């Protein structure tokens, strides 16, 4: 990574324009009207990529210094696939209040905040409180990027298997950041029969060991259908399995799913159901890995989502914007839809612009666009 100027700086006149005395004209204009920051600085095209290093990849709590390579990589992806400038910021604190106060104080320098690799359930509170305090997009990619791409792939998998959302039964294993966000976006998209499981089984209010975030999740999912029990119980007759948990699902459990099942086993590097096993019992199989077809990859979502939000100077990223991004991704597959392709490639040059356009339009519909 490097910082590169977008204007020439080769003579006295250019230096006087870019810095003193010329720069003072812009400073005075912004002091008189702070909204001009969006027109005369890099702020509206720049995202802070913020982590505390507590949930880095599959490596866990490895600290802020070790998280920096991932944040740098994220910044490169933002630039390559969305034309968005990203600044990695790794914080030497895991205290929720300190993280929130630090980001709030940094916010004037950025057009948006991308939270990254912050462990659950802390990540939910951090995101929610930052959304309340800031008038720029705040987006936890481990939650919402994963959810958007999962929904996009599921839209096409349902189409391929002749299902509709309202009558499809979905099981999600993993009640952390990704599992919660996937559950919410699937409900928003029309899925009615949905359960989420953790290590102790179905997340249901019948249990007395639920955290506040899991209690809220139970009320939106299993409580509505009266489902409870073990992961194996949930699998019986299920149409769709979404794995964001790790571990291994026994093949005899996978075999109890409905005909023409859909399996998205996204743990990395070892999917919860290996594709060789999954293909024996499912019609559509996706993973988080690049060496198998149908990779559920966040890079399909976050660059275009921020590009679209920035293009209309959005004050937030809404559920409608996320669903619109997912539908745009699903639509790109078009006539190429098959068991081996329910989601486009990250290298498809149409991805970023299509997602950005859909997100911008949704921002206007949802009333958060400022231009």
**How big is the CA angle at 355 (ends 342 and 347), to the nearest 5 degrees?**
60
| Structural contact between residues 370 and 314, judged by C-beta atoms closer than 8 angstroms | yes
Is the CB of residue 139 less than 8 Å from the CB of residue 359? no
Q: Give CA–CA dist 56/199, Å, rounded.
A: 21
DSSP 8-state code for residue 229: S
Torsion of CA 265, 362, 314, 351, to 10 degrees: 50
Active site residues per annotation: 19, 74
45 annotated among ligand-binding-site residues: no
User: Quick check: helix, strand or coil at residue 230?
Assistant: coil
Q: Are 240 and 264 in contact (CB under 8 A)?
A: yes
Asked whether the beta carbons of 220 and 184 are under 8 A apart, the reply is yes
Half-sphere exposure for 185 (CA within 13 Å, toward CB): 30
269 preceded by a cis bond (ω within 30 of 0): yes
The reply, when asked if residue 142 is annotated as ligand binding, is yes
Q: Is 209 annotated as a binding residue?
A: no
Neighbours of 81 (CB within 10 A): 21
Q: How many CB atoms lie within 10 A of CB 336?
A: 11
- Compute the Cα dihedral for 174, 180, 181, 186 and give only its sign: positive
Rounded-to-integer distance, Cα 30 and Cα 168, Å: 53
> Does 117 show up as a binding residue in the annotation?
yes
In this structure, what token pair is assigned to residue 175? 């009640």
Residues annotated as binding site? 116-117, 142, 268, 297
Residues annotated as binding site for (S)-malate? 268, 297
Residues annotated as binding site for a divalent metal cation? 116-117, 142
């Amino acid at each position: 990574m490097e910082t590169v100027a977008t204007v020439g700086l080769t003579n006295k006149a250019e230096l006087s324009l870019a810095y003193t005395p010329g720069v003072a004209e812009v400073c005075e204009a912004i002091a008189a009207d702070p909204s001009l920051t969006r027109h005369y600085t890099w702020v509206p095209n720049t995202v802070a990529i913020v982590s505390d290093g507590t949930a880095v990849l599959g490596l866990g709590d490895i600290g802020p210094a070790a998280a920096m390579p991932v944040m740098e990589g994220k910044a490169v992806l933002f630039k390559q696939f969305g034309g968005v400038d990203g600044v990695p910021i790794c914080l030497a604190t895991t205290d929720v209040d300190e993280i929130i106060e630090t980001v709030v104080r940094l916010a004037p320098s950025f057009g948006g905040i991308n939270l990254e690799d912050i462990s659950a359930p802390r990540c939910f509170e951090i995101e929610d409180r930052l959304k309340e305090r800031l008038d720029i997009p705040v987006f936890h990619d481990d939650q919402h990027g994963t959810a958007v791409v999962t929904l996009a792939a599921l839209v096409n998998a349902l189409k391929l298997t002749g299902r509709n959302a309202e009558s499809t039964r979905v099981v999600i294993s993993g009640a952390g950041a990704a599992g919660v966000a996937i559950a919410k976006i699937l409900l928003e998209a029309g899925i009615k029969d949905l359960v989420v499981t953790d290590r102790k089984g179905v997340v249901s209010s019948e249990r007395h060991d639920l955290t506040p975030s899991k209690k809220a999740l139970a009320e939106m999912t299993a409580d509505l259908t009266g489902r409870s029990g073990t992961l194996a119980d949930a699998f019986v007759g299920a149409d769709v399995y979404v794995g964001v948990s790790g571990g291994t699902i026994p093949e005899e459990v996978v075999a109890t799913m409905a005909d023409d099942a859909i399996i998205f086993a996204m743990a990395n590097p070892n999917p919860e159901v290996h594709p060789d096993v999954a293909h024996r019992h499912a019609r559509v199989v996706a993973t988080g890995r690049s060496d198998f077809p149908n990779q559920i990859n966040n890079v399909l979502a976050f660059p275009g989502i921020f590009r679209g939000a920035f293009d209309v100077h959005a004050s937030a990223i809404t559920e409608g914007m996320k669903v619109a991004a997912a539908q745009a991704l699903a639509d790109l597959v078009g006539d190429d839809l098959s068991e081996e392709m329910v989601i486009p490639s990250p290298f498809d040059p149409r991805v970023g612009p299509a997602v950005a356009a859909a997100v911008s339009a949704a921002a206007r519909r949802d009333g958060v666009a400022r231009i």
